[in-house]
Amino acid sequence: MSEFDKRIVVYGAGSIGTISGAYLTKAYGKENVTLVDAWQENVDTLNQNGAHITGTTDLTVPVTAVTPDKLTGQFDIVLLHTKQGFNSTVIPAIKQILKPDGTLVSLQNGVPERNITKIIPPKNVIAGTVEFGGTGAGPGVSELTTEYEAFKKSAYAIGEVDGRITDRIQMIQEVLSNVGGVTVSDNLMGTKWVKLLVNESFSGLSAAADATFGEVAADSVGIKAALHLIDEGLKVGHADGVRFALMVGVDMNQQFALRGDDFTDQQIQDLRVFIKSSSKLKASMLQDLYHHRKTEINEINGLIADTGKEHGIPTPYNDLIIKIVTQAQETDTLPKFDETMAAFKKLLGNHPVAS
Ligand SMILES: CC(C)(CO)C(=O)C(=O)O
């Protein structure tokens, strides 16, 4: 353990960062790994009680945590786990603490890499996706909501921005393997976009209906709406030149694109199987609504709707998610499952085909 000579920062110790930070600290020691979070009570509790992971596992690891203003020194690896909405302050702050040959691993939802590399040189940036879920359970505690076996098999997908398989990407793969399974992608944009499909469908519906992914999938309207959302994302992505990567071995286009007038029963069944290991997940956008925080609706469903507009592709299902979540955010209320499903049922009736 002590031979490890890299200093790691986990920037953002929310529901996901706490899990990453706990496992990395367990592997490399608290002298090599620092968790950074703006919430003072969270930082204090992490330092006093350690990072406590509940849910599909049970683990407590003593960790080092600081607020961003207390982070000093230079680091080799920074895992970016904060929300895109904070990038205008977070990315310049990371630039100050990243070694000249250090690596920022951007793990945010959406596709923020173009803007990040305007501030941090592209040679210092790799990117990826988080494929597990966590729900914040108070300061210092995060509930792992993905089934443990699925998490150990597939926790992150990472890649160089230009898709090369380098020594560096293999080194980061080895580091992150201490948390869970890591896929190396030679098609990073395809990887970010395939995660976006999950976010704009299940995370969008989870936030818009105050529900877990499993509750959305079990509902006959919810699962159909999810298929339409995925189909819109596929159409928009294809028009934008995206080559979608596989997600946990699944070709989303082959399995879930709309062919003909309506989705088949097989597609409904396949989507339920695909999302099963994530049944307990609550979207981070929903957790944002619980905690009166701004959601990533513009960076997730908004990205699909805006890119759709650029290419003249209608996105009525994404538009409805945006409407419901934005309204909840603006009025500081929680959407109601039945009302959301009724609104989607109407849309399914009016526009059974996403066109
Ligand atoms: C799908 C999930 C839960 C995975 O971390 C996510 O990215 C989100 O809702 O923000």
Q: Which helix (H) or strand (E) holds 126?
A: strand 125-130
pTM (2 d.p.): 0.94
Distance spanning both ends of the chain, measured CA to CA: 55
Same domain, 175 and 281: no
Same domain, 46 and 101: yes
| Domain end marker among 143, 170, 186 | 186
**Any ligand 1 atom below 6 A from CB of 145:** no
> What confidence score (pLDDT) does residue 336 get?
98
CA 99–ligand 1 middle distance (angstroms): 29
Same domain, 242 and 178: no
State the CATH number of the domain containing residue 112. 3.40.50.720
Q: Which of 107, 109, 290 to mutate to test the pocket of ligand 1 (most atoms within 8 A of CB)?
A: 109
> What confidence score (pLDDT) does residue 4 get?
80
Domain count, the chain: 2
| Domain end marker among 132, 166, 186 | 186
Residue at 36 is within a domain = yes
Q: Which domain holds residue 65?
A: 8-186
Q: What is the CA radius of gyration of the chain?
A: 20
Residue nearest to atom 9 of ligand 1 (CA): 283
Q: Which of 15, 107, 198 to mutate to test the pocket of ligand 1 (most atoms within 8 A of CB)?
A: 198
Same domain, 177 and 246: no
CA 195–ligand 1 middle distance (angstroms): 9
> With 0-12 CB in 10 A as exposed, 13-18 as middle and 19+ as buried, what is 323?
middle
Q: Is 77 helix (H, G, I), strand (E, B) or coil?
A: strand
Do 120 and 99 touch, CB atoms closer than 8 A?
Answer: no
Q: Which residue has the tokens 């792992």?
A: 144
Positions of E strands within 161-292:
182-184
**Any ligand 1 atom below 6 A from CB of 109:** yes
Residue at 140 is within a domain = yes
**Which residues fall within 8 angstroms of residue 217, CB to CB, at 6 or more apart?**
202, 223, 226, 271, 272, 275, 276, 279
**Any ligand 1 atom below 6 A from CB of 303:** no
Distance CA(36)–CA(18), nearest Å, equals 10
Distance CA(12)–CA(18), nearest Å, equals 8
Same domain, 167 and 194: no
**Mean pLDDT per segment of 10 residues, for the chain of length 355 residues?**
82 98 98 98 98 98 98 97 97 98 98 96 96 97 98 97 94 98 96 98 98 98 98 98 95 97 97 98 98 97 98 98 98 98 94 43
Distance CA(225)–CA(283), nearest Å, equals 16
**Any ligand 1 atom below 6 A from CB of 289:** no
Same domain, 120 and 266: no
Q: Which residue has the tokens 């049944």?
A: 279
* β 33-36/64-66 pair status: parallel
**Any ligand 1 atom below 6 A from CB of 325:** no
> What confidence score (pLDDT) does residue 1 get?
45
> What confidence score (pLDDT) does residue 354 get?
39
Token readout for 154 is 């597939």
Same domain, 84 and 203: no
Do 104 and 126 touch, CB atoms closer than 8 A?
Answer: yes
| Domain end marker among 186, 220, 252 | 186
> What confidence score (pLDDT) does residue 353 get?
42
Same domain, 162 and 239: no
**Any ligand 1 atom below 6 A from CB of 284:** yes
Same domain, 68 and 127: yes
**Any ligand 1 atom below 6 A from CB of 130:** yes
Same domain, 171 and 227: no
Give the number of the atom of ligand 1 that is nearest the alpha carbon of residue 300: 10
Q: What is the dihedral of CA 205, 210, 211, 217, to 10 degrees?
A: -30
Q: Which residue has the tokens 């596709």?
A: 111
**Residue type present at position 232:** E
Distance CA(105)–CA(120), nearest Å, equals 11
> What confidence score (pLDDT) does residue 350 get?
65
Same domain, 178 and 315: no
State the CATH number of the domain containing residue 217. 1.10.1040.10
Residue at 354 is within a domain = no
Same domain, 102 and 123: yes
CA 284–ligand 1 middle distance (angstroms): 6
